[in-house]
Amino acid sequence: MSFVIGSLQVCIALLALPVYILDILGAWEPVAKKVLPYVLDRFTTYYNNKMHSYKKALFSNMLDFAGPGGRLNLLEIGCGTGANFQFFPRGSHVTCMDPNPDFKRFLSKSVAENKHVRFESFVVASGEDMSGVTSSSIDVVVCTLVMCSVHSVEVVLKEVRRVLRPGGAFFFLEHVNADKSSWTYFFQQIYHPTWKRVFGGCHLIRETWKDIEKARFSELKLQHIWAPLKWNPGRTHIMGYAVK
């Protein structure tokens, strides 16, 4: 079986040979950094249409974690184009964080289209280093389709726990690997090496739920779902929230 998977991985890699060549030359990363915001701007519209009911349900109780006076201080890591703004509660004070500054242009568009939220700032930083955010200062941290591409899920979760106030919550929606006995997992293995290279380090076969379960949250609500995304190898998702 490993021979079959390896052979098919080579076939997929050959189809993406220009990307591999650019990557070896050190030219793919800067190109991808500029192109990715445009790609995600189109993809998130499609993704939100397909996942609207799931996102609406996920964020429905977010105000339960508001701080004193009912103010909700919200930090979104890996905010991208601001695709989640429409689902945030009215009056939320939103700080956005992303390591790619080229998302700022698209983020401004989302801010303009979602007047019900109060945009605070855009911070250029990765989830592994949120040193610019004060400890225990955030009511809710949001993370969607981000853990697949971070360098260390464990480190990100430690930072999430640090910035959350006691009783605050971490909301997540992430694609993960499928059951290892399934055909979906078989194809995830085939696509994984090329997928990761093309899409900025995005991993198709991460067991992110295990990291969240080990992250020492006081309460965890987590479910596995099949996202209604036809022909997408990242259809297997987890969603839920964890309380500090």
Q: How high is the mean pLDDT of the chain?
A: 92
> Residue 74 pairs with which residues in a beta bridge?
94, 140
More confident residue, 41 or 184: 184
What tens digit of pLDDT does each residue of 185-229 get?
999 999 999 999 888 889 999 999 999 999 999 999 999 999 999
Fold of 2-243: Rossmann fold (3.40.50)
Of the pLDDT bands very low, low, confident and very high (cuts 50, 70, 90), residue 1 is confident
DSSP 220-240: EEEEEEE---TT-TT-EEEEE
Amino acid 120: pLDDT: 93
Amino acid 31: pLDDT: 80
What tens digit of pLDDT does each residue of 12-57 get?
888 888 888 888 888 888 888 888 888 888 888 899 999 999 999 9
CB-CB contact of 99 with 84 (8 Å): no
Q: Where are the domains of the chain?
A: 2-243
What tens digit of pLDDT does each residue of 57-90 get?
999 999 999 998 899 999 999 998 899 999 999 9
Amino acid 30: pLDDT: 85
β-bridge pairing 236-243 and 73-77 = unpaired
CA dist list (Å): 22 to 17, 26, 103, 203: 9, 6, 23, 20
Q: With a threshold of 0.75, does the pTM exceed it?
A: yes
